[in-house]
Amino acid sequence: MTESTRDERFWTPDNSDGSGWADVDWVSAAHGSRYHYRHVGSVAEERSRLPRFYRVVTRLESAALHPHENSYYVASERLADFLAEISIAAGAEVIWHVEPCLDPPPESRAGKR
């Protein structure tokens, strides 16, 4: 299957750069809205453009605990796994927001294994 055949099977981009908008077509919190897509390069090429780290802020609120936020500093290559883990296993702790982080604080020990 050629690249152009594969593209035509799924969507015709709105824009000449291979980007566009499509309806969210699964049942989720985003149902009824639209997402923006764009054609991209290889995984290695695109990964080189990402920030090295992300700051993932969660909010924890329960009857037993005073509400607070936690900040996790996560290496770029582990972000997807971390978000999946915290979404499934965190209980009362929910993802509040995610942002790029140039240099995590040393106290975070991010990137050290």
CATH number of the domain that residue 84 is part of: 3.10.20
Predicted confidence band of residue 3 (pLDDT cuts 50, 70, 90): low
CA–CA distance, 40 with 47 (Å, rounded to integer):
11
The residue among 14 and 78 whose pLDDT is bigger is 78
Q: Which residues touch 5 (CB under 8 Å, ≥6 apart)?
A: none
Q: Give me the mean pLDDT over the 88-104 stretch.
A: 91
54 and 92 fall within a common domain: yes
pTM (2 d.p.): 0.75
In a domain, 113, yes or no: no
24 and 52 fall within a common domain: no
63 and 103 fall within a common domain: yes
Predicted confidence band of residue 97 (pLDDT cuts 50, 70, 90): very high
- Count of structural domains within the chain: 2
In a domain, 12, yes or no: yes
The mean predicted confidence, pLDDT, of the chain is: 86
Q: Residue 25: which domain range? A: 3-39
For residue 6, what pLDDT is reported? 55
